[in-house]
Chains A and B, each alone.
Chain A
Amino acid sequence: MEKKLLHFCLNGEEMEVQVDPSASLMDVIRDDLEMTGTKAGCNTGDCGACTVILDGEAVRSCIMPALHVMDRNVETIEGIGSPDNLHPVQEEFVESSAFQCGYCTPGMIMSAKALLDKNPEPTGEDVREAIAGNLCRCTGYKKIEEAFLSAAKKVNSKSS
């Protein structure tokens, strides 16, 4: 089985990688590129731990063929923030302990970022819709929702 060349933009960087044509985007990110921030929770598109952003939209990477993202823009958690410069969502998570085991956290943050990039003034309903596909077993979701809404306020006050 011959590998195919996948060319795409990953976290703002042009990327070329030889992939197994039947590999999922998640497999390529985690195994081939060894970027393990994106998590594997179920491999059937049911939990959202693998959420990445494709051309601005939050998507499931575990059921997306890797080659599907040819010449497109993908963002993963590794491209969001840095220890000295956290994204407002990450800041809020840190400040209010909106996570516990942390396994769903990268997926949650990607879903939140995709929302805030499109809609800087989300309502509670918008936030819920954005993360309805991200399962969490530890937190009961409450602190996560609150962190997102606070982050939105932060984003707004920064830009205003």
Chain B
Amino acid sequence: MKDRDERRACYLTVRKEATGYCLGENISGIRPVNNMINNYLFPESTLEAVEMLKSLNGEGRIIAGGTDLVLDLRKNKFVVSSLVDITKIDSLKNIELTGDKITIGALVTHAQVASSRLIKDKASVLAKAAGSVGCLQIRNVGTLAGNVVSALPAADAAVALIALEAEAEVVGPGGSNFVRVEDLYERLFTSKVDSNSQLITKISFNALLGKQGSAYVRMTLRKALALPILNAAAVVSVSNGTFDWVKIVVAPTNPIPTICKEVGKMLAGAQVNNQTISEAAEYLSNNAVIVEDIRANKEYRKEMIKVITKRALEEAVAAVS
């Protein structure tokens, strides 16, 4: 009996839904009706956007590409009556290099980042990450800034930006400040950016230099249109076969994606070899918050954290030219 139950456990693999969305009471596919948008506004500048949000007094929300937001609104994750569409603000649409700093406007799409010569050369981890989001139709519309604000634990572009220690400019009624992308997470699925009153205008980070390499690795159940089981963004600096520093984000290993400081400490000054990399991978795997969801159960994810960490580090090292 036990044996059969064990066997049965393979197919009954009770994988619980991570997001807890839409069970039981919403089984009929009823769209929540209290979320009816009455107003759709197009500010022509960032200032105007902030003013509009202010006058809407919490009933308005920023929309850019909307690929996450439209679905969230249908699920009643946010209840608003007006949308402030910033896609006509041209000043938010540029990718620029000033000195060593790359700045990406809030309306730059994943597709634009993925095909940007500059990003491919100087921050390939981000080009690859942005190029892995969903599929081309989503990438043509979804923005990096939107990816950050959605506060998902393993959003591809956000994970890469965090590894690059990117900063975002957040503009609101109180003015603007620069915040590390990593610090923009309030908790799982909730951003510190309050899209009812604020918006991100640009995101910047340092371009990678000579002895720095980066890698983006993604593990999925199929090769397109799939959220990752795990993803990893690694940026490393190597001199003479030794790690100068390592910044690696493996997600989801935490409700909030972060650079693993411990791995950074372990590898700073360490020899680049199989043993040090494996130890780092082991550490991450043992100290992660392991999520069980419909994409993978706990045991598998734990094992894969090891594998993906190793692969991300190895690829990043190989990318050091």
Instruction: Show the binding face of A for B, using Cβ within 8 Å.
Output: 1-2, 4, 21-22, 24, 44-46, 48, 51, 54, 57-60, 63-65, 67-68, 70, 111, 129-130, 132-133, 135
CB A74 to nearest CB in B, in angstroms, measures: 13
> B132-140, B149-157, B190-198: which lies at the A interface?
B132-140
CB A153 to nearest CB in B, in angstroms, measures: 22
A sample of 28 cross-chain residue pairs with beta-carbon separation below 8 angstroms, ordered by A number, consists of A1-B38, A2-B38, A21-B37, A44-B71, A45-B67, A45-B71, A46-B225, A51-B137, A54-B140, A57-B140, A57-B141, A58-B136, A59-B137, A59-B141, A60-B141, A64-B66, A64-B141, A65-B37, A65-B85, A67-B83, A67-B85, A68-B40, A68-B63, A68-B85, A68-B87, A132-B135, A132-B136, A133-B225
A58 contact set on B, CB distance < 8 A? 136-137, 140
> Which residue of chain B is the closest to A110 with respect to CB atoms?
B137
Inter-chain contact A111/B40, CB cutoff 8 Å = no
For A2, A58, A60, which residue has the most chain B Cβ atoms within 10 angstroms?
A: A60
A111-B137 contact in complex given A67-B85, A132-B224, C-beta closer than 8 Å: yes
A1 contact set on B, CB distance < 8 A? 36, 38
Q: For chain B, residues 145 to 178, give those with C-beta under 8 angstroms from any C-beta of chain A.
A: none
Inter-chain contact A59/B140, CB cutoff 8 Å = yes
A133 contact set on B, CB distance < 8 A? 134-138, 224-225
Nearest 9 interchain pairs by C-beta: A133-B135, A132-B224, A67-B40, A22-B37, A57-B140, A63-B70, A21-B37, A133-B137, A60-B137
A4 to B36, CA, bound (A): 13
A46 to B134, CA, bound (A): 9
> Which residue of chain A is the closest to B64 with respect to CB atoms?
A68
Q: How large is the interface on B (under 10, 10 to 19, 20 to 34, 35 or more residues)?
A: 20 to 34
A60 contact set on B, CB distance < 8 A? 67, 137-138, 141
> Which one of A45, A65, A130, A132 contacts B83 once the chains associate, using CB atoms below 8 Å?
A65
> Which residue of chain A is the closest to B68 with respect to CB atoms?
A63
Q: Does B223 contact A (CB under 8 A)?
A: yes
A45 contact set on B, CB distance < 8 A? 67, 70-71, 137-138
B111 contact set on A, CB distance < 8 A? 57
Known: A54-B141, A57-B111, A132-B135. 6 other contacts (CB 8 A): A21-B39, A60-B138, A63-B71, A65-B85, A68-B40, A133-B138
A111 to B67, CA, bound (A): 18
> Which one of A46, A64, A111 contacts B136 once the chains associate, using CB atoms below 8 Å?
A111
B134 contact set on A, CB distance < 8 A? 133
A21 to B83, CA, bound (A): 9
Inter-chain contact B225/A132, CB cutoff 8 Å = yes
A60 to B37, CA, bound (A): 20
Inter-chain contact B136/A21, CB cutoff 8 Å = no
Q: Does B271 contact A (CB under 8 A)?
A: no
Inter-chain contact A21/B40, CB cutoff 8 Å = yes
Q: Does B42 contact A (CB under 8 A)?
A: yes
CB A113 to nearest CB in B, in angstroms, measures: 13
CB B47 to nearest CB in A, in angstroms, measures: 20
Inter-chain contact B39/A63, CB cutoff 8 Å = no
CB B237 to nearest CB in A, in angstroms, measures: 32
A45 to B73, CA, bound (A): 14
A54 contact set on B, CB distance < 8 A? 140-141
Inter-chain contact A65/B67, CB cutoff 8 Å = no
A128 to B90, CA, bound (A): 31
A60 to B67, CA, bound (A): 9
